[in-house]
Chains A and B, each alone.
Chain A
Amino acid sequence: MNPERWERVERLYHAARPLSGTAREQFLSESTAGDAELLREVESLLRHGRPSSAGFLDAPFTVVRQVPPSSVPTLTGRTIESYIVGERIGAGGMGDVYRAHDRRLQRDVALKVLPASLLGDEDDTRRAERLRRFEQEAKVLAALNHPHIVTVYEVGLVDSAPFIAMELVEGKSLRDMIQSGPLARTEALEITAQVARALASAHEKGIVHRDIKPDNVMIRPDGYVKVLDFGVAMLRSSGGDVVSVARSGALQTLGTSAIGTPAYMSPEQITGAPVDARTDIFSLGVLLCEVLTRTNPFVGSTAVGTVMAINATPEPAMSVTGDLPRTMRDVILKALQRDPEQRFRTATEFAVALERQAADHWSRRPSVVASAVAALVIVLLVAARLYPRHAASSVDSEAARIVQSADFDSPSRAQVQASIRRYEEAIRINPTYAAAWAGLGTAHIALTYFGDVPGRETLTEAKRAAQESLRLDPSQSSAWRSLAWVSHYLEWDHPTAEREFLKAIALDPQEPRALEWYTGFLMDLGRFDEALIYTRRAQNAAPRWLIPVTTNGYIYYNTGRFDLAIVQYERALEWDPNFGVAAQQLGRVYLAQGRHALAIEQLRRSTQLMGDVPFAVADLGYALGVAGRRSEAQQMLSDLLAKRKQGHYPAFALAEIELGLGNTEAALDWLERACDEGTVGWNLPSADPFYNQVRTHPRFVRLLQRMNLPTGKN
């Protein structure tokens, strides 16, 4: 086509495009003035230029990468060192992953086989040197010990390809989760926070992940997060150079090739500049943006757009986070700052910000307070926030007002008693007010914790109120929950308790207290795996509430996983340094580890924070005895005996202190009395490791049988 004619075509094309129908026909026939070829040309271009005639030009070119499945021979069925290789469970550029069984240690592992080219193709001496370095790096990785990091067991060689044996994680990747549907915001924030915690731990050891993305984050069925491939990006070499890290704590980058996944890479990583821990913070920021919005701010954006964004401000993130609350966007934007100095300084700082967000997101729920007992009691009471079903009459609104005022933020013993009076007043105004009855039941359970009335009395009151509530309205979830509590802790009818708990949960599946209480029940029965699931559900339902976090720790404590327990308690204390329950249970863990001084310090602090509630005092007394500070323990014992003579002090506390002093028979005397009284401690004795020393004692076994509890050691 000659340019002059093309110019005419172009003019006519643009002039005719806005026109349609006969107007266009008329215009074209007039302006082509009998040039039939020109007319055909313009008409055909208009036809092919219709927006509806979509073609492959309409989006920038992409190709789906297809790796022939047969390209890598399978290892399934082979035995490599002590591993029997099972099915292939993953594949990728970084190598294939198999499920395998370690015959030596009788455990299942994941076996990741990396490309042989990782070690380079040169002469044997250099390969040997690379292998030596690879093993050295793997040792650094194996030293990473954090509950949210997949543990590396060992490395080795198979057919001259290096492999890594690591912890097998059941579950699905965050990528799969994002693709299968949007995540709840709190869930997204919590998952990201757990990844940040994992990063913080690795960063402390000088290890940078370098390839944080949803594919490398696994979510177990219980909601627990595991970060995969820690430092594997570091082991991997693109040009054959193994990048080195963590020499005497200092961070050092050899080689300059950018390793990672472009859409998650920090600007400094993309440009091949030296990177440090803050590159992971950037990548986690991209991940956070993606889990919250299901959009990766840097995928699909145009070339210059990405450059500009990385150059100046995280603009792409601004546009995709439009629907998020401002504070949540601020967190994302802070992580995505181009200048590493402007990002969160540490992964811990990032984690805390995320946990706050998760909590704030929940802030439309009733607020929860700082002090431990307050938190406990509010657990019991907040649930009683009432939504009257028949608010039409003025009597009902008055009752509702009274009941609402029973809901408070920093409860003490006096306040719990005041709330009981308010509920009773509401019931006097309207005796058929089911929610007030339910609230009354919960308040009576709360009273148990202060220990100045025998548990049997308050729990009997609680049961009566809950039953009345359910008689009026069988759909009162919190009344079912109270009934379950009484069935479990006072009547030891655990099958009934379980039915009632499940009924409460079915009526209000997102109500965190029912989930939390049921967790305690499961622990008492030694069903720790299920307990873990329900405590995670409680945490998801109420991210601001710290009790499930400590309960999560308590499950680990009960099952002897002390380091995992400590992580939970530290998390709770970082959030609220004055959270007494966390201090108390942390003290228990220290005690179990034989760190007596630390234990006593935490336990003493917990009694101060919680205002001398019996379960905290008892733990301190026990610890003093175990630590050999007998006279102090004795002194506490006699003080408490005096209190008991004056009014009431729960027998379980005295049992615990005697136990710490090694007075087994006296301890069992008190424990039997505690059974009669109806309060036996934080959990039932079956789930309390303090009692391990008497677990096979015939009197203790009889006691557990009396409470219909499993007698085998958990």
Chain B
Amino acid sequence: MAPALGANVTALLLEWQNGRQDALDKILPIVHQELRRAARRQMAGERRGHLLQPTALVNEAFLRLVDWKNVRWQSRAHFFAVAAQLMRRILVDAARNQARVKRGGGALRVSLSEAADLPVQRRRDLVALDDALQVLDTFDPRKRQVVELRFFGGLSLDEIAGVLDVSVGTVRRDWSLARAWLHRELADMPRPPAAATAPAKR
């Protein structure tokens, strides 16, 4: 990664913070690409059976993309907000794709699903979580973001408070309720009945 790119993303983050919405549009593809590359690297280097931690990928992307010695806290916060959201998108896309095709072709599958076959249950959970988060976003976008930052970005409650510029207490309450709500939604989610895949008895 050329240092120029780091400076670029840093500058874009600043612009975005200063209200330039189009800056975000430029950041997204760069971060997205970096996350995929980081995933590929981690896949290539790690041993069979190792854990893949998307949160580590977010980390790595941040370190590589942002001139982190020269950005203020707010820029970091914004970066993590973006990266966590993208990570969610990547993982969920991978899960949805895996559910459809077995393997091969496509940038997303190369980056994640090919090397890291998501177990069926994880796949379902991820897709269901994504659906639920979309619903949650309609009436409480901040809680949606708290979940994203925590689950896909790996941030602590303190860090989330910094990112969202609210008190830790608020984040804790948000998390508690969002978690309860999601647990309920996921528990109530209709699962494919076992009989559907089993041959009918005669």
Contacts and interface: CB of A to CB of B under 8 A. Distances in A.
B168 to A, nearest CB: 14
Nearest to B112: A63
Given A262-B42, A270-B64, A272-B64, A49 B180 contact: yes
Interface residues of B, number: 63
B186 A261 contact: no
Contacts of B182: 55, 57
Interface string B137-157: 001100000010011111110
B153 A303 contact: yes
A94 B177 CA distance: 44
Interface string A41-56: 0001111110001011
B159 to A, nearest CB: 4
Most buried by B among A53, A211, A304: A304
Contact of A307 (B2, B68, B156): B68
A302 B155 contact: yes
B196 interface: no
B44 A62 contact: no
Q: Is the interface of B mostly helix, strand, loop or mixed?
A: helix
A55 B183 contact: yes
B50 to A, nearest CB: 5
Interface string A1-33: 111001000100110010000000000000000
Most buried by B among A13, A57, A260: A57
Contact of B46 (A13, A53, A65, A238): A65
Interface in A117-151: none
Contacts of B129: 57
Contacts of A675: none
Contact of B68 (A93, A257, A260, A311): A311
B116 interface: yes
B150 A10 contact: no
B181 A303 contact: no
Contacts of A67: 48, 115
A577 interface: no
A256 B176 contact: no
B100 interface: no
B195 interface: no
Contacts of A92: 46-48
A260 B119 CA distance: 27
Interface string B27-64: 00000000000001111111111111111101110111
Nearest to A300: B53
A106 interface: no
A507 to B, nearest CB: 43
A258 interface: yes
Contact of A13 (B55, B62, B180): B180
B156 A6 contact: no
B79 to A, nearest CB: 10
Contacts of B151: 57, 60-61
A3 B141 CA distance: 11
A45 B152 CA distance: 23
B15 interface: no
A57 B178 CA distance: 10
A304 B51 contact: no
Contact of A48 (B64, B91, B162, B181): B181
A215 interface: yes
A215 B45 CA distance: 12
Contacts of A94: 45
A64 interface: yes
A472 interface: no
A259 B125 CA distance: 32
Q: For this complex, into which size category does the number of interface residues on chain A fall? A: 35 or more
B46 A305 contact: no
Nearest to A58: B179
Nearest to A238: B41
Contacts of A17: 176
A310 interface: yes
B104 to A, nearest CB: 13
A66 interface: yes
A267 B183 contact: no
Contact of A256 (B1, B56, B162): B1
Contacts of B179: 49, 55, 57-58
A306 interface: yes
Nearest to A269: B63
A61 B55 contact: yes
A114 to B, nearest CB: 11
B63 A63 contact: no
Contacts of B52: 62-65
Interface in A243-293: 256-263, 267, 270-272
Interface string A300-334: 00111111001100000000000000000000000
A49 B55 CA distance: 24
B176 A49 contact: yes
A62 B51 contact: yes
B69 interface: yes
B173 A48 contact: no
Given A64-B51, A91-B48, 18 more contacts: A14-B176, A49-B177, A55-B182, A56-B122, A57-B129, A57-B151, A61-B151, A62-B53, A63-B52, A63-B54, A65-B46, A65-B115, A93-B44, A238-B41, A262-B60, A270-B64, A302-B156, A305-B159
Interface of B: 1-2, 6, 40-56, 58-60, 62-64, 68-69, 76, 80, 91, 115-119, 122, 125-126, 129, 139-140, 147, 150-156, 159, 162, 173, 176-177, 179-184, 186-187
12 contacts: A10-B173, A14-B173, A45-B177, A61-B91, A65-B43, A65-B51, A66-B49, A66-B117, A68-B117, A92-B47, A271-B6, A302-B159
